[in-house]
Structure 1
């Protein structure tokens, strides 16, 4: 089988790959290849073919061979040839579905009308105009080498410098630009750290008893055991940390999902454990900018920058679709993290990094965060007022979700009523570590901004039964 490339430039300048079957002669092979291209739809009806002269030159064959092939296909009805219009694929040459390709039409996915599932900021308030202005300035000022592959696995120095200033000012992080590693969000960062810990022969990572199952699964997928720490009103019980764990993953500023803050005594206990055992604290500061009742508590990393890996992202402050995150890494871990990232680098583009750097330097990031803090605080206040006298709201006034403590025995009723009203909620029970021994709390979560849509399933008669796994709605 010989293969040739033909370039059609008359209509759209696209390349068409033709397989000319060996042993059948050039003309017969060309006829069959063009017929197959028209039949399958690779050559759409109305497409203008190149002249026989230019097509012959592309294929490296005689012009007469192409002309004869065109003439045969015109006679069969696959092509049309008119003076002044050239040779085109006939309109009647509609592609046919291969045998067995017919499938039942799948119903379009349906989404709840109202969603209070935590996890996503208000995507409708992404600062499009400000981001576009920053992107233009960044693109104008970008050095030529920014368009290359990139020599530093830590990421663009412009963004690392901008983040160092911002994190020190807004979150109390000791952030030397040389110790910042840019990544494609928290999951990317945790993936890298899990691999480094495993290479260090760490066998166990302590996690909060209420925590995101995705993060636990990522750690176990890297060959690490996860041991749950009990979570109470003071946060994770860090005094229970032992030398068996080589690291601990914490959400100190706003525990996810219970909404409590790690108390000063628990913070000190975590740092003391790390210093005594040589362990590492992985600090997930996922929404540290959004505290509403007081000045935000600084990051835990400031207590001991040599034992804490600080992890932050733009997913809650801007949008998760940017795939932008960062780690501030202790000196003793930096080389290993950079080496791991260099081996499997799938971070955000250099231009996005330069844009975020400009967005921060210009003050637009601070203005956006301040504006969203007011919006989310207003929404949370409205939620608290709406349920006042019915259920209690626990956790600190912060972040993009709230926890409603339901009266005993009412959770099922509330979920059924929510599903009936086309409202998506989540319970704390889905976040419990399977080995924690924690009893499911009678609580439901609410969000400050619209979270990711959740699939739902229609019920008989067009009524809404909720997403898969939800209880059925109450009878009419």
Structure 2
């Protein structure tokens, strides 16, 4: 077998030195159980020693139980229980930790990822890819994906996109980090954010040297009338996270007017724009002014966050700076696959199927609440993959604890409140009904209802 193996025989005699070195590599964990070793001929050639010396060393270690040798399977490291440290008893096996049910927001049903269709698209994409696609490439990303995204976003989200103004990134967080870096270089010191959102995003902006200032929130969405002294704003206008309301049309217009009047920049997080149920689609804010709004989207909700595929549609003046901050592109094969997925119509089919599945779950959630927890009201449910369940005042901590006792992972609304927000404290749960796999949905819903007041 032509398998590479680093081993350095030590001590008197080649056979003993090789035996000791191999034994120590297994004992120390450098050679894991099941690892296949090179053939005696190959290792002898690599070390410049006689083949019989290697064969004898292997035989010694097989006799001691460190290795196994079977016809047709070669020589492998034997399966052995790890030794306990001296003076300490071996640890007892423990059951796997973690909740039995999961309603944390932010993830789709990963079991529904279209593996077979994705694999077919990957094969087609790789077969058709030019040789230069496997090089370092354009930091904006593969032209095939940027072209496909420009067409899809214009058609499905009302984005005014040109392939030359799209930069592919490794998810929303990566894109936000790049934008934070560019904004700081331009002299921006603070970014306005929504009173409720994700601390991971605020922390990314802080890591870029930017202060985050929370804005007030009411039934019409984030209040933009208080914008002053800042040059950038991060907002989720299509479906505010986590409150679930779209930004009112008057406020959308006022926000764009602020950006034009002050030279400000709006960062639009369109995190679940494809999923709507009881309302007409809300188009992207970017369509109102592509020179003042950065559109950010991902495949995290429509496909899977593990793909690490996101995109930014940038004002012309930002493209070169963001591309420079990003540097070498990555994930070329997945980019080509997503381009094929979009062009073939597979992406649209996936979104439509997912929309039906999540709407059915949402309806089942609302029905279960009406029957088993009538004092709890679900809001923000016209779109998206999560709902806000309003609780009696002062009960959020006890309900989260009760959920944990039921083996259910779920977050309270307080988890998403900016630490400097002046918004009134509200007791609620943020329920990510897209997260559980289909086979666990009924049990998850039962656990939730048992935890509610």
Give the match's secondary structure for 1:297: coil
Give the match's secondary structure for 2:98: coil
Give the match's secondary structure for 1:16: coil
Which stretch of structure 1 is more off in the superposition, 13-22 or 358-367? Answer: 13-22
Per-residue CA deviation, residues 380-421 of structure 1 (Å, 9 max, x unaligned), is: 122223223433322351100111222334434543543443
Are 2:218 and 1:236 equivalent residues in the alignment? no
Are 2:24 and 1:36 equivalent residues in the alignment? yes
2:341 is matched with: 359
Give the 3 Å change call, closer, same or farther, for CA 223–25 of structure 1 in structure 2: same
Give the 3 Å change call, closer, same or farther, for CA 89–399 of structure 1 in structure 2: closer
The match for 1:192 among 172, 175, 178 is: 178
In structure 1, what is the Cα distance between the partners aligned to 2:384 and 2:420?
27
Q: How many residues align?
A: 434
Larger radius of gyration: 1
Are 2:4 and 1:15 equivalent residues in the alignment? yes
In structure 2, what is the Cα distance between the partners aligned to 1:374 and 1:63?
64
2:147 is matched with: 161
Give the 3 Å change call, closer, same or farther, for CA 57–313 of structure 1 in structure 2: closer
1:400 is matched with: 385
Per-residue CA deviation, residues 133-190 of structure 1 (Å, 9 max, x unaligned), is: 2122112212122222x32001111111111001001100001011011111101101
Question: How much has 1:127 moved relative to structure 2?
Answer: 1.7
In structure 1, what is the Cα distance between the partners aligned to 2:129 and 2:180?
34
Supply the RMSD in Å over aligned alpha carbons.
3.6
2:115 is matched with: 128
Question: Does the CA contact (< 8 Å) of 2:37 and 2:77 recur in 1?
Answer: no
Give the match's secondary structure for 1:267: helix
In structure 2, what is the Cα distance between the partners aligned to 1:310 and 1:336?
16
Question: Does the CA contact (< 8 Å) of 2:19 and 2:58 recur in 1?
Answer: no
In structure 2, what is the Cα distance between the partners aligned to 1:92 and 1:113?
31
Question: Does the CA contact (< 8 Å) of 2:4 and 2:38 recur in 1?
Answer: no
TM norm structure 1? 0.80
2:262 is matched with: 277
Give the match's secondary structure for 1:240: coil
In structure 2, what is the Cα distance between the partners aligned to 1:423 and 1:43?
36
In structure 2, what is the Cα distance between the partners aligned to 1:397 and 1:43?
52
Are 2:354 and 1:372 equivalent residues in the alignment? yes
In structure 2, what is the Cα distance between the partners aligned to 1:210 and 1:48?
55
Question: Does the CA contact (< 8 Å) of 1:289 and 1:369 recur in 2?
Answer: yes
Question: Does the CA contact (< 8 Å) of 1:39 and 1:93 recur in 2?
Answer: no
Question: Does the CA contact (< 8 Å) of 1:78 and 1:89 recur in 2?
Answer: no
In structure 2, what is the Cα distance between the partners aligned to 1:62 and 1:46?
23
